[in-house]
Structure 1
Amino acid sequence: MGAENVDTAYVGAESVSQESVDERSADERSEGSEAPGSGSDEPQGEARPEARLERAVRAAEQALIEFEIAVETFRVEVENFSRLHHQKLGPMYSRLDELDAQIAEAQAARTGDPEDIRKADEARARVMPMPGVEELFHGWMDSEGLFPEAVAMLTDQPVRPPQRVRPSDEARKLYRELARKAHPDLAQDEDERMRRDEFISRVNAAYARGDEALLRELSEEWAAGPVPKEWKPSRSEELYARLEWLSERKEMLTLVAHELEESAIGAMLKLAPDDPDRLLEEIAEQLLAQVGEREAELARLAG
Protein backbone atom coordinates (compact mmCIF):
# COMPACT_ATOMS: atom_id res chain seq x y z
CA MET A 1 0.00 0.00 0.00
CA GLY A 2 1.38 3.41 -0.94
CA ALA A 3 1.95 6.22 1.52
CA GLU A 4 -0.98 8.27 0.18
CA ASN A 5 -3.39 5.46 1.13
CA VAL A 6 -2.41 5.16 4.79
CA ASP A 7 -4.61 7.87 6.29
CA THR A 8 -7.36 7.17 3.75
CA ALA A 9 -7.57 3.63 5.11
CA TYR A 10 -8.23 4.97 8.60
CA VAL A 11 -10.90 7.41 7.42
CA GLY A 12 -12.55 4.70 5.34
CA ALA A 13 -12.51 2.27 8.23
CA GLU A 14 -14.07 4.89 10.50
CA SER A 15 -16.83 5.48 7.94
CA VAL A 16 -17.55 1.78 7.55
CA SER A 17 -17.54 1.25 11.30
CA GLN A 18 -19.81 4.26 11.85
CA GLU A 19 -22.25 2.99 9.22
CA SER A 20 -22.39 -0.32 11.06
CA VAL A 21 -23.03 1.52 14.31
CA ASP A 22 -25.82 3.57 12.69
CA GLU A 23 -27.40 0.43 11.23
CA ARG A 24 -27.31 -1.32 14.57
CA SER A 25 -28.74 1.73 16.29
CA ALA A 26 -31.60 1.91 13.77
CA ASP A 27 -32.33 -1.79 14.21
CA GLU A 28 -32.32 -1.48 17.97
CA ARG A 29 -34.64 1.57 17.88
CA SER A 30 -36.98 -0.36 15.63
CA GLU A 31 -36.92 -3.34 17.95
CA GLY A 32 -37.43 -1.11 20.96
CA SER A 33 -40.53 0.51 19.43
CA GLU A 34 -42.42 -2.75 18.81
CA ALA A 35 -45.90 -2.84 20.26
CA PRO A 36 -46.45 -4.81 23.45
CA GLY A 37 -47.36 -8.38 22.80
CA SER A 38 -45.44 -8.55 19.55
CA GLY A 39 -43.43 -11.45 20.89
CA SER A 40 -40.12 -9.57 21.06
CA ASP A 41 -37.94 -10.35 24.06
CA GLU A 42 -35.79 -7.22 23.54
CA PRO A 43 -36.19 -4.53 26.23
CA GLN A 44 -37.51 -1.19 25.02
CA GLY A 45 -34.89 1.55 24.53
CA GLU A 46 -31.22 1.06 25.32
CA ALA A 47 -30.44 -2.07 27.31
CA ARG A 48 -27.76 -0.26 29.34
CA PRO A 49 -26.55 3.34 29.54
CA GLU A 50 -23.11 2.20 28.36
CA ALA A 51 -24.44 0.44 25.21
CA ARG A 52 -23.91 3.38 22.87
CA LEU A 53 -20.47 4.05 24.32
CA GLU A 54 -19.52 0.39 23.86
CA ARG A 55 -20.57 0.55 20.20
CA ALA A 56 -18.44 3.66 19.75
CA VAL A 57 -15.46 1.86 21.28
CA ARG A 58 -15.97 -1.14 18.97
CA ALA A 59 -16.19 1.15 15.94
CA ALA A 60 -13.03 3.01 16.96
CA GLU A 61 -11.20 -0.26 17.59
CA GLN A 62 -12.09 -1.56 14.13
CA ALA A 63 -11.02 1.70 12.50
CA LEU A 64 -7.72 1.64 14.38
CA ILE A 65 -7.07 -1.96 13.30
CA GLU A 66 -7.54 -0.99 9.65
CA PHE A 67 -5.27 2.01 10.10
CA GLU A 68 -2.58 -0.09 11.78
CA ILE A 69 -2.76 -2.57 8.90
CA ALA A 70 -2.28 0.26 6.41
CA VAL A 71 0.66 1.75 8.32
CA GLU A 72 2.33 -1.63 8.81
CA THR A 73 1.86 -2.48 5.14
CA PHE A 74 3.57 0.74 4.12
CA ARG A 75 6.31 0.26 6.74
CA VAL A 76 7.11 -3.16 5.30
CA GLU A 77 7.29 -1.69 1.80
CA VAL A 78 9.66 1.05 2.98
CA GLU A 79 11.82 -1.46 4.86
CA ASN A 80 11.97 -3.90 1.96
CA PHE A 81 12.70 -1.15 -0.54
CA SER A 82 15.48 0.15 1.72
CA ARG A 83 17.02 -3.32 2.05
CA LEU A 84 16.86 -4.04 -1.68
CA HIS A 85 18.10 -0.54 -2.46
CA HIS A 86 21.15 -1.17 -0.27
CA GLN A 87 21.79 -4.68 -1.61
CA LYS A 88 21.35 -3.93 -5.29
CA LEU A 89 22.52 -0.33 -5.54
CA GLY A 90 24.96 -0.03 -2.63
CA PRO A 91 27.93 -1.34 -4.67
CA MET A 92 27.15 1.15 -7.43
CA TYR A 93 27.10 4.06 -4.98
CA SER A 94 30.42 2.82 -3.55
CA ARG A 95 31.87 2.61 -7.06
CA LEU A 96 30.75 6.17 -7.79
CA ASP A 97 32.34 7.44 -4.57
CA GLU A 98 35.59 5.66 -5.43
CA LEU A 99 35.60 7.10 -8.95
CA ASP A 100 34.89 10.58 -7.59
CA ALA A 101 37.86 10.23 -5.24
CA GLN A 102 40.14 9.03 -8.06
CA ILE A 103 39.01 11.87 -10.32
CA ALA A 104 39.63 14.45 -7.59
CA GLU A 105 43.06 12.96 -6.88
CA ALA A 106 43.96 12.95 -10.56
CA GLN A 107 42.85 16.56 -10.87
CA ALA A 108 44.89 17.56 -7.80
CA ALA A 109 47.95 15.74 -9.15
CA ARG A 110 47.69 17.64 -12.44
CA THR A 111 47.17 21.11 -10.99
CA GLY A 112 48.84 20.97 -7.57
CA ASP A 113 46.27 23.56 -6.48
CA PRO A 114 45.67 23.54 -2.65
CA GLU A 115 41.92 23.75 -3.19
CA ASP A 116 41.98 20.73 -5.51
CA ILE A 117 44.11 18.85 -2.96
CA ARG A 118 41.58 19.67 -0.22
CA LYS A 119 38.71 18.43 -2.39
CA ALA A 120 40.65 15.25 -3.15
CA ASP A 121 41.24 14.61 0.55
CA GLU A 122 37.53 15.11 1.28
CA ALA A 123 36.52 12.79 -1.54
CA ARG A 124 38.93 10.10 -0.36
CA ALA A 125 37.68 10.45 3.24
CA ARG A 126 34.18 9.59 2.07
CA VAL A 127 35.34 6.18 0.91
CA MET A 128 37.62 5.40 3.84
CA PRO A 129 36.63 2.27 5.78
CA MET A 130 34.36 2.78 8.78
CA PRO A 131 35.96 2.43 12.22
CA GLY A 132 35.62 -0.96 13.85
CA VAL A 133 33.13 -1.78 16.56
CA GLU A 134 35.90 -1.82 19.17
CA GLU A 135 36.92 1.73 18.24
CA LEU A 136 33.37 3.02 18.43
CA PHE A 137 32.53 1.55 21.81
CA HIS A 138 35.93 1.92 23.49
CA GLY A 139 36.12 -1.38 25.27
CA TRP A 140 32.39 -1.87 25.94
CA MET A 141 31.87 -4.37 23.13
CA ASP A 142 33.60 -6.13 20.27
CA SER A 143 32.47 -8.15 17.26
CA GLU A 144 31.34 -10.93 19.60
CA GLY A 145 29.00 -8.62 21.53
CA LEU A 146 28.99 -6.79 24.84
CA PHE A 147 31.74 -7.44 27.35
CA PRO A 148 30.65 -9.06 30.65
CA GLU A 149 31.13 -5.78 32.52
CA ALA A 150 28.78 -3.98 30.13
CA VAL A 151 26.18 -6.74 30.41
CA ALA A 152 26.38 -6.51 34.19
CA MET A 153 25.82 -2.76 34.14
CA LEU A 154 22.82 -3.03 31.81
CA THR A 155 21.17 -5.80 33.85
CA ASP A 156 21.75 -4.25 37.30
CA GLN A 157 24.10 -7.05 38.27
CA PRO A 158 27.31 -6.52 40.26
CA VAL A 159 30.09 -5.50 37.89
CA ARG A 160 32.75 -7.24 39.97
CA PRO A 161 32.60 -10.20 42.36
CA PRO A 162 31.78 -9.35 45.99
CA GLN A 163 34.78 -8.01 47.92
CA ARG A 164 34.06 -10.20 50.95
CA VAL A 165 32.81 -13.74 51.39
CA ARG A 166 30.57 -12.71 54.27
CA PRO A 167 28.53 -9.48 54.16
CA SER A 168 29.01 -6.96 56.95
CA ASP A 169 27.49 -7.41 60.41
CA GLU A 170 24.96 -4.64 59.71
CA ALA A 171 23.87 -6.30 56.47
CA ARG A 172 23.49 -9.64 58.24
CA LYS A 173 21.40 -8.01 61.00
CA LEU A 174 19.09 -6.29 58.51
CA TYR A 175 18.73 -9.46 56.48
CA ARG A 176 17.77 -11.58 59.48
CA GLU A 177 15.20 -9.07 60.67
CA LEU A 178 13.60 -8.89 57.23
CA ALA A 179 13.63 -12.65 56.79
CA ARG A 180 11.87 -13.13 60.11
CA LYS A 181 9.21 -10.49 59.36
CA ALA A 182 8.54 -11.21 55.70
CA HIS A 183 9.00 -14.97 55.47
CA PRO A 184 6.44 -16.49 53.04
CA ASP A 185 5.46 -19.15 55.58
CA LEU A 186 3.80 -16.40 57.64
CA ALA A 187 1.30 -15.68 54.85
CA GLN A 188 -2.40 -16.25 55.55
CA ASP A 189 -3.47 -16.58 51.89
CA GLU A 190 -2.00 -17.19 48.45
CA ASP A 191 -1.86 -13.52 47.42
CA GLU A 192 0.06 -12.66 50.56
CA ARG A 193 2.43 -15.56 49.98
CA MET A 194 3.17 -14.33 46.46
CA ARG A 195 3.85 -10.83 47.76
CA ARG A 196 6.21 -12.17 50.40
CA ASP A 197 7.99 -14.45 47.91
CA GLU A 198 8.69 -11.52 45.58
CA PHE A 199 9.87 -9.33 48.47
CA ILE A 200 12.14 -11.98 49.99
CA SER A 201 13.75 -12.62 46.60
CA ARG A 202 14.77 -8.96 46.52
CA VAL A 203 16.02 -9.18 50.10
CA ASN A 204 18.13 -12.22 49.24
CA ALA A 205 19.62 -10.49 46.17
CA ALA A 206 20.52 -7.39 48.21
CA TYR A 207 22.10 -9.50 50.94
CA ALA A 208 24.10 -11.51 48.40
CA ARG A 209 25.66 -8.24 47.23
CA GLY A 210 26.14 -7.01 50.79
CA ASP A 211 24.09 -3.91 49.92
CA GLU A 212 23.30 -2.33 53.29
CA ALA A 213 21.64 0.73 51.79
CA LEU A 214 19.21 -1.36 49.78
CA LEU A 215 18.45 -3.57 52.78
CA ARG A 216 17.56 -0.45 54.77
CA GLU A 217 15.27 0.68 51.97
CA LEU A 218 13.62 -2.73 51.96
CA SER A 219 13.13 -2.50 55.71
CA GLU A 220 11.33 0.82 55.27
CA GLU A 221 9.26 -0.60 52.44
CA TRP A 222 8.14 -3.55 54.55
CA ALA A 223 7.33 -1.32 57.50
CA ALA A 224 5.11 0.82 55.28
CA GLY A 225 2.94 -2.21 54.53
CA PRO A 226 1.44 -3.50 51.28
CA VAL A 227 0.40 -1.10 48.58
CA PRO A 228 -3.36 -0.52 48.83
CA LYS A 229 -5.47 -1.99 46.07
CA GLU A 230 -6.01 0.31 43.17
CA TRP A 231 -9.30 2.09 42.75
CA LYS A 232 -11.44 0.38 40.13
CA PRO A 233 -13.18 2.69 37.67
CA SER A 234 -16.78 2.26 36.55
CA ARG A 235 -17.64 0.66 33.23
CA SER A 236 -18.34 4.06 31.65
CA GLU A 237 -15.01 5.41 32.89
CA GLU A 238 -13.24 2.37 31.46
CA LEU A 239 -14.90 2.92 28.08
CA TYR A 240 -14.03 6.62 28.01
CA ALA A 241 -10.45 5.74 28.93
CA ARG A 242 -10.41 3.17 26.13
CA LEU A 243 -11.62 5.75 23.63
CA GLU A 244 -8.94 8.16 24.77
CA TRP A 245 -6.26 5.48 24.38
CA LEU A 246 -7.51 4.62 20.89
CA SER A 247 -7.33 8.29 19.94
CA GLU A 248 -3.78 8.61 21.27
CA ARG A 249 -2.79 5.42 19.45
CA LYS A 250 -4.19 6.79 16.21
CA GLU A 251 -2.21 10.03 16.66
CA MET A 252 0.97 8.04 17.28
CA LEU A 253 0.40 5.95 14.15
CA THR A 254 -0.26 9.13 12.19
CA LEU A 255 3.18 10.41 13.22
CA VAL A 256 4.75 7.08 12.23
CA ALA A 257 3.05 7.23 8.83
CA HIS A 258 4.19 10.83 8.36
CA GLU A 259 7.80 9.93 9.19
CA LEU A 260 7.67 7.04 6.73
CA GLU A 261 6.27 9.28 4.02
CA GLU A 262 8.87 11.99 4.64
CA SER A 263 11.84 9.61 4.78
CA ALA A 264 14.18 9.37 1.82
CA ILE A 265 12.94 5.88 0.94
CA GLY A 266 9.31 6.91 1.41
CA ALA A 267 9.82 9.84 -0.93
CA MET A 268 11.31 7.48 -3.51
CA LEU A 269 8.35 5.12 -3.19
CA LYS A 270 6.01 8.02 -3.96
CA LEU A 271 7.64 8.20 -7.39
CA ALA A 272 6.39 4.70 -8.27
CA PRO A 273 3.58 3.67 -5.89
CA ASP A 274 2.29 1.02 -8.32
CA ASP A 275 5.59 -0.65 -9.24
CA PRO A 276 8.43 0.09 -6.77
CA ASP A 277 10.49 -2.83 -8.13
CA ARG A 278 10.65 -1.15 -11.51
CA LEU A 279 11.87 2.02 -9.78
CA LEU A 280 14.89 0.12 -8.47
CA GLU A 281 15.71 -1.00 -11.99
CA GLU A 282 15.44 2.57 -13.28
CA ILE A 283 17.75 3.88 -10.55
CA ALA A 284 20.24 1.11 -11.32
CA GLU A 285 20.25 2.10 -14.99
CA GLN A 286 20.90 5.73 -14.05
CA LEU A 287 23.74 4.77 -11.72
CA LEU A 288 25.34 2.58 -14.39
CA ALA A 289 25.26 5.52 -16.76
CA GLN A 290 26.90 7.73 -14.13
CA VAL A 291 29.58 5.10 -13.52
CA GLY A 292 30.32 5.07 -17.25
CA GLU A 293 30.61 8.87 -17.33
CA ARG A 294 32.97 8.89 -14.31
CA GLU A 295 35.16 6.18 -15.82
CA ALA A 296 35.40 8.10 -19.08
CA GLU A 297 36.35 11.29 -17.21
CA LEU A 298 38.99 9.43 -15.16
CA ALA A 299 40.43 7.93 -18.36
CA ARG A 300 40.62 11.39 -19.90
CA LEU A 301 42.48 12.80 -16.87
CA ALA A 302 44.83 9.83 -16.78
CA GLY A 303 45.51 10.09 -20.52
Structure 2
Amino acid sequence: MSDAEPQAESHDRSQEEAQAAERLERAVRAAEQALIEFEIAVETFRVEVENFSRLHHQRLGPMYSRLDELDALIAEAVAARTGDPEDIRKAREARGLVQPMPGVEELFHGWIDSDGLSPEAAAMLTERPVQPPPRVRPSEEARRIYRELARKAHPDLAEEEAERERRGAFIVRVNAAYAAGDEEALRALAEEWEAGPPPPERRASPSEELYARLEWLAERKEMLAAVAAELESSAIGAMIKMAPEDPDRLLDEIAEQLLAQAAEKEARLAELAR
Protein backbone atom coordinates (compact mmCIF):
# COMPACT_ATOMS: atom_id res chain seq x y z
CA MET A 1 0.00 0.00 0.00
CA SER A 2 1.39 3.34 -0.98
CA ASP A 3 1.64 6.30 1.41
CA ALA A 4 -1.05 8.09 -0.62
CA GLU A 5 -3.74 5.51 0.17
CA PRO A 6 -3.81 5.99 3.99
CA GLN A 7 -3.75 9.71 3.44
CA ALA A 8 -6.71 9.44 1.06
CA GLU A 9 -8.64 7.26 3.53
CA SER A 10 -7.89 9.71 6.35
CA HIS A 11 -9.04 12.59 4.17
CA ASP A 12 -12.29 10.77 3.32
CA ARG A 13 -12.96 10.05 6.99
CA SER A 14 -12.32 13.69 7.86
CA GLN A 15 -14.74 14.78 5.17
CA GLU A 16 -17.41 12.36 6.40
CA GLU A 17 -16.95 13.50 9.99
CA ALA A 18 -17.18 17.14 8.93
CA GLN A 19 -20.36 16.47 6.96
CA ALA A 20 -21.88 14.56 9.89
CA ALA A 21 -21.00 17.39 12.27
CA GLU A 22 -22.54 19.90 9.85
CA ARG A 23 -25.77 17.87 9.61
CA LEU A 24 -25.92 17.57 13.39
CA GLU A 25 -25.42 21.31 13.83
CA ARG A 26 -28.19 22.04 11.31
CA ALA A 27 -30.48 19.69 13.24
CA VAL A 28 -29.69 21.50 16.49
CA ARG A 29 -30.39 24.91 14.96
CA ALA A 30 -33.64 23.69 13.45
CA ALA A 31 -34.68 22.21 16.80
CA GLU A 32 -33.86 25.50 18.55
CA GLN A 33 -36.04 27.51 16.16
CA ALA A 34 -38.88 24.98 16.40
CA LEU A 35 -38.74 25.12 20.21
CA ILE A 36 -38.83 28.92 20.21
CA GLU A 37 -41.87 28.93 17.93
CA PHE A 38 -43.57 26.37 20.18
CA GLU A 39 -42.75 28.43 23.27
CA ILE A 40 -44.22 31.54 21.61
CA ALA A 41 -47.43 29.64 20.87
CA VAL A 42 -47.68 28.30 24.43
CA GLU A 43 -47.05 31.73 25.98
CA THR A 44 -49.64 33.31 23.69
CA PHE A 45 -52.22 30.73 24.71
CA ARG A 46 -51.32 31.16 28.39
CA VAL A 47 -51.95 34.92 28.12
CA GLU A 48 -55.28 34.28 26.40
CA VAL A 49 -56.36 31.77 29.08
CA GLU A 50 -55.37 34.14 31.89
CA ASN A 51 -57.13 37.14 30.34
CA PHE A 52 -60.20 35.13 29.40
CA SER A 53 -60.42 33.82 32.96
CA ARG A 54 -60.31 37.34 34.38
CA LEU A 55 -62.87 38.67 31.91
CA HIS A 56 -65.10 35.64 32.40
CA HIS A 57 -65.09 36.19 36.16
CA GLN A 58 -65.61 39.95 35.90
CA ARG A 59 -68.33 39.94 33.26
CA LEU A 60 -70.16 36.70 33.91
CA GLY A 61 -69.59 36.10 37.61
CA PRO A 62 -72.51 38.36 38.66
CA MET A 63 -74.75 36.65 36.10
CA TYR A 64 -73.94 33.20 37.47
CA SER A 65 -74.66 34.52 40.97
CA ARG A 66 -78.01 35.87 39.75
CA LEU A 67 -78.91 32.48 38.27
CA ASP A 68 -78.04 30.76 41.57
CA GLU A 69 -80.20 33.28 43.45
CA LEU A 70 -83.14 32.72 41.08
CA ASP A 71 -82.81 28.94 41.49
CA ALA A 72 -82.94 29.38 45.26
CA LEU A 73 -85.95 31.73 45.07
CA ILE A 74 -87.82 29.31 42.79
CA ALA A 75 -87.07 26.34 45.05
CA GLU A 76 -88.18 28.32 48.09
CA ALA A 77 -91.40 29.39 46.36
CA VAL A 78 -92.14 25.79 45.41
CA ALA A 79 -91.46 24.60 48.97
CA ALA A 80 -93.70 27.33 50.40
CA ARG A 81 -96.53 26.20 48.12
CA THR A 82 -96.26 22.47 48.67
CA GLY A 83 -94.84 22.18 52.16
CA ASP A 84 -93.33 18.90 50.98
CA PRO A 85 -90.24 17.89 53.04
CA GLU A 86 -88.37 16.98 49.86
CA ASP A 87 -89.11 20.40 48.32
CA ILE A 88 -88.00 22.05 51.56
CA ARG A 89 -84.75 20.06 51.43
CA LYS A 90 -84.18 21.11 47.81
CA ALA A 91 -84.85 24.73 48.71
CA ARG A 92 -82.26 24.63 51.51
CA GLU A 93 -79.80 22.96 49.17
CA ALA A 94 -80.35 25.59 46.48
CA ARG A 95 -79.94 28.40 49.01
CA GLY A 96 -76.72 26.82 50.20
CA LEU A 97 -75.28 27.09 46.68
CA VAL A 98 -75.79 30.86 46.58
CA GLN A 99 -72.52 32.63 47.27
CA PRO A 100 -72.66 34.22 50.72
CA MET A 101 -71.49 37.74 51.39
CA PRO A 102 -67.69 37.66 51.71
CA GLY A 103 -65.99 38.17 55.01
CA VAL A 104 -63.62 41.06 55.66
CA GLU A 105 -60.52 39.04 54.76
CA GLU A 106 -62.09 37.76 51.54
CA LEU A 107 -63.36 41.22 50.70
CA PHE A 108 -59.89 42.72 50.83
CA HIS A 109 -58.07 39.74 49.36
CA GLY A 110 -56.01 40.97 46.41
CA TRP A 111 -56.72 44.63 47.20
CA ILE A 112 -53.68 45.19 49.37
CA ASP A 113 -50.13 44.30 48.43
CA SER A 114 -46.63 45.33 49.48
CA ASP A 115 -47.22 48.77 47.96
CA GLY A 116 -50.55 49.29 49.72
CA LEU A 117 -53.89 49.42 47.95
CA SER A 118 -54.01 48.05 44.44
CA PRO A 119 -55.06 50.50 41.68
CA GLU A 120 -58.43 48.72 41.38
CA ALA A 121 -59.07 49.02 45.13
CA ALA A 122 -58.05 52.68 45.21
CA ALA A 123 -60.34 53.39 42.25
CA MET A 124 -63.28 51.74 44.02
CA LEU A 125 -62.71 53.59 47.28
CA THR A 126 -62.43 56.95 45.53
CA GLU A 127 -65.36 56.16 43.20
CA ARG A 128 -63.16 56.50 40.13
CA PRO A 129 -63.79 54.13 37.20
CA VAL A 130 -62.06 50.80 37.66
CA GLN A 131 -59.57 49.91 34.93
CA PRO A 132 -61.05 46.96 33.01
CA PRO A 133 -58.82 43.96 32.32
CA PRO A 134 -57.24 43.65 28.88
CA ARG A 135 -58.95 41.81 26.08
CA VAL A 136 -58.45 38.08 25.88
CA ARG A 137 -56.05 38.34 22.98
CA PRO A 138 -53.37 41.05 22.63
CA SER A 139 -53.62 43.09 19.44
CA GLU A 140 -52.14 41.80 16.19
CA GLU A 141 -49.40 44.46 16.39
CA ALA A 142 -48.50 43.43 19.95
CA ARG A 143 -48.39 39.79 18.87
CA ARG A 144 -46.17 40.64 15.87
CA ILE A 145 -43.65 42.60 17.95
CA TYR A 146 -43.64 39.91 20.63
CA ARG A 147 -42.91 37.16 18.13
CA GLU A 148 -40.04 39.14 16.59
CA LEU A 149 -38.50 39.88 19.97
CA ALA A 150 -38.88 36.29 21.16
CA ARG A 151 -37.20 34.99 18.01
CA LYS A 152 -34.31 37.47 18.23
CA ALA A 153 -33.67 37.65 21.97
CA HIS A 154 -34.56 34.17 23.19
CA PRO A 155 -32.04 32.88 25.78
CA ASP A 156 -31.78 29.53 24.00
CA LEU A 157 -29.92 31.24 21.16
CA ALA A 158 -27.04 32.21 23.48
CA GLU A 159 -23.98 30.05 24.00
CA GLU A 160 -22.28 32.10 26.73
CA GLU A 161 -23.84 31.98 30.19
CA ALA A 162 -23.60 35.76 30.65
CA GLU A 163 -25.40 36.36 27.37
CA ARG A 164 -28.02 33.76 28.29
CA GLU A 165 -28.70 35.60 31.57
CA ARG A 166 -28.92 38.97 29.80
CA ARG A 167 -31.41 37.59 27.31
CA GLY A 168 -33.38 35.84 30.05
CA ALA A 169 -33.84 39.08 32.00
CA PHE A 170 -34.85 40.89 28.82
CA ILE A 171 -37.42 38.23 27.84
CA VAL A 172 -39.01 38.47 31.29
CA ARG A 173 -39.74 42.14 30.54
CA VAL A 174 -40.98 41.27 27.06
CA ASN A 175 -43.38 38.66 28.47
CA ALA A 176 -44.72 41.11 31.05
CA ALA A 177 -45.40 43.75 28.39
CA TYR A 178 -47.03 41.16 26.13
CA ALA A 179 -49.24 39.82 28.92
CA ALA A 180 -50.43 43.40 29.51
CA GLY A 181 -51.00 43.92 25.78
CA ASP A 182 -48.80 47.04 25.97
CA GLU A 183 -47.79 47.86 22.40
CA GLU A 184 -45.80 50.96 23.39
CA ALA A 185 -43.75 49.01 25.91
CA LEU A 186 -43.09 46.29 23.34
CA ARG A 187 -41.97 48.88 20.77
CA ALA A 188 -39.63 50.43 23.33
CA LEU A 189 -38.20 47.00 24.12
CA ALA A 190 -37.71 46.31 20.41
CA GLU A 191 -35.74 49.58 20.08
CA GLU A 192 -33.74 48.73 23.20
CA TRP A 193 -32.81 45.34 21.79
CA GLU A 194 -31.76 46.76 18.45
CA ALA A 195 -29.58 49.34 20.21
CA GLY A 196 -28.04 46.77 22.57
CA PRO A 197 -24.85 44.76 22.14
CA PRO A 198 -24.92 42.44 19.13
CA PRO A 199 -25.30 38.76 19.95
CA PRO A 200 -21.97 36.94 20.04
CA GLU A 201 -20.97 34.98 16.99
CA ARG A 202 -21.62 31.27 17.18
CA ARG A 203 -18.64 29.08 17.77
CA ALA A 204 -18.32 25.62 16.32
CA SER A 205 -19.35 23.07 18.97
CA PRO A 206 -18.01 19.53 19.37
CA SER A 207 -20.39 16.73 18.46
CA GLU A 208 -20.80 15.76 22.12
CA GLU A 209 -22.10 19.24 22.98
CA LEU A 210 -24.47 19.20 20.03
CA TYR A 211 -25.93 15.86 21.11
CA ALA A 212 -26.34 17.19 24.66
CA ARG A 213 -28.02 20.28 23.25
CA LEU A 214 -30.50 18.15 21.28
CA GLU A 215 -31.33 16.18 24.42
CA TRP A 216 -31.93 19.38 26.38
CA LEU A 217 -34.15 20.76 23.61
CA ALA A 218 -36.20 17.55 23.59
CA GLU A 219 -36.68 17.73 27.37
CA ARG A 220 -37.68 21.38 27.13
CA LYS A 221 -40.23 20.59 24.43
CA GLU A 222 -41.73 17.82 26.58
CA MET A 223 -42.11 20.26 29.46
CA LEU A 224 -43.78 22.86 27.23
CA ALA A 225 -46.06 20.19 25.76
CA ALA A 226 -47.19 19.30 29.29
CA VAL A 227 -47.91 22.98 30.02
CA ALA A 228 -49.85 23.32 26.76
CA ALA A 229 -51.86 20.17 27.48
CA GLU A 230 -52.74 21.45 30.95
CA LEU A 231 -53.89 24.79 29.54
CA GLU A 232 -55.95 23.14 26.80
CA SER A 233 -57.60 20.71 29.21
CA SER A 234 -58.64 23.44 31.64
CA ALA A 235 -62.24 24.70 31.56
CA ILE A 236 -61.15 28.12 30.31
CA GLY A 237 -58.81 26.62 27.71
CA ALA A 238 -61.59 24.40 26.39
CA MET A 239 -63.86 27.43 26.08
CA ILE A 240 -61.25 29.39 24.14
CA LYS A 241 -60.79 26.46 21.74
CA MET A 242 -64.50 26.78 20.92
CA ALA A 243 -63.78 30.18 19.34
CA PRO A 244 -60.05 30.23 18.50
CA GLU A 245 -60.34 33.12 16.04
CA ASP A 246 -62.19 35.50 18.37
CA PRO A 247 -62.31 34.34 22.00
CA ASP A 248 -63.63 37.75 23.13
CA ARG A 249 -66.78 37.18 21.11
CA LEU A 250 -67.41 33.95 22.99
CA LEU A 251 -67.97 35.96 26.17
CA ASP A 252 -70.76 37.90 24.46
CA GLU A 253 -72.39 34.67 23.31
CA ILE A 254 -72.19 33.14 26.80
CA ALA A 255 -73.61 36.35 28.29
CA GLU A 256 -76.57 36.18 25.90
CA GLN A 257 -77.24 32.57 26.88
CA LEU A 258 -77.09 33.44 30.59
CA LEU A 259 -79.44 36.38 30.10
CA ALA A 260 -81.92 34.11 28.35
CA GLN A 261 -81.69 31.59 31.20
CA ALA A 262 -82.22 34.36 33.74
CA ALA A 263 -85.29 35.62 31.85
CA GLU A 264 -86.78 32.10 31.87
CA LYS A 265 -86.17 31.70 35.58
CA GLU A 266 -87.60 35.14 36.35
CA ALA A 267 -90.74 34.24 34.39
CA ARG A 268 -91.00 30.99 36.32
CA LEU A 269 -90.61 32.85 39.61
CA ALA A 270 -93.29 35.34 38.60
CA GLU A 271 -95.70 32.46 37.88
CA LEU A 272 -95.06 30.96 41.32
CA ALA A 273 -95.67 34.31 42.98
CA ARG A 274 -99.21 34.59 41.54
Instruction: Give the drift of 1:275.
Output: 2.1
Q: Distance in 1 between matches of 2:78 and 2:85?
A: 11
Q: Among residues 243, 248, 257, which one is paired with 2:219 in the alignment?
A: 248
Q: Which whole-Å deviations, capped at 9, do the CAs of 1:78-137 have from their partners, x for residues lacking one?
A: 2222221111111111111111111111111111222112211111111132764869xx
Q: Among residues 260, 271, 274, which one is paired with 1:289 in the alignment?
A: 260
In structure 2, what is the equivalent of residue 6 of structure 1? none
In structure 2, what is the equivalent of residue 267 of structure 1? 238
Aligned residue runs from structure 1 range 16-31, under 5 A: none
Does the CA-based 8 Å contact 2:35-2:221 persist in structure 1? yes
Q: Which whole-Å deviations, capped at 9, do the CAs of 1:216-250 have from their partners, x for residues lacking one?
A: xxxxxxxxxxxxxxxxxx94333222211111111
Greater Rg over alpha carbons, structure: 1
The answer to whether residue 208 in structure 2 is matched with residue 237 in structure 1 is yes
Gap runs ≥5 in structure 1? 1-42, 136-140, 147-233
Does the CA-based 8 Å contact 2:78-2:272 persist in structure 1? yes
Name the SS for the 2:208 alignment partner.
Answer: helix
Q: Among residues 75, 79, 86, which one is paired with 1:104 in the alignment?
A: 75
Q: Distance in 2 between matches of 1:49 and 1:128?
A: 65
Q: Distance in 2 between matches of 1:61 and 1:130?
A: 51
In structure 2, what is the equivalent of residue 78 of structure 1? 49
Does the CA-based 8 Å contact 1:133-1:143 persist in structure 2? no
Name the SS for the 1:273 alignment partner.
Answer: coil
Does the CA-based 8 Å contact 1:134-1:142 persist in structure 2? no
What is the alpha-carbon root mean square deviation over aligned residues? 2.9
Q: Distance in 1 between matches of 2:104 and 2:33?
A: 45
Identity of aligned residues (%): 79
Gap runs ≥5 in structure 2? 1-13, 115-204
Q: Distance in 2 between matches of 1:271 and 1:134?
A: 36
**TM, length-normalised to structure 1:** 0.49
User: Which segment is superposed worse, 76-85 or 43-52?
Assistant: 43-52
Name the SS for the 2:98 alignment partner.
Answer: coil
Matched length: 169
Q: Distance in 1 between matches of 2:259 and 2:32?
A: 49
Does the CA-based 8 Å contact 1:101-1:120 persist in structure 2? yes
Bigger relative CO (Cα 8 Å, ≥ 6 apart): 2
Q: Which whole-Å deviations, capped at 9, do the CAs of 1:267-289 have from their partners, x for residues lacking one?
A: 22222222222221111111111
Instruction: Give the drift of 1:292.
Output: 0.8
Instruction: Give the drift of 1:68.
Output: 0.7
Does the CA-based 8 Å contact 2:65-2:99 persist in structure 1? no
Query: What letter is aligned with 1:283?
Result: I
Q: Distance in 2 between matches of 1:278 and 1:48?
A: 53
In structure 2, what is the equivalent of residue 60 of structure 1? 31
Q: Distance in 2 between matches of 1:51 and 1:107?
A: 78
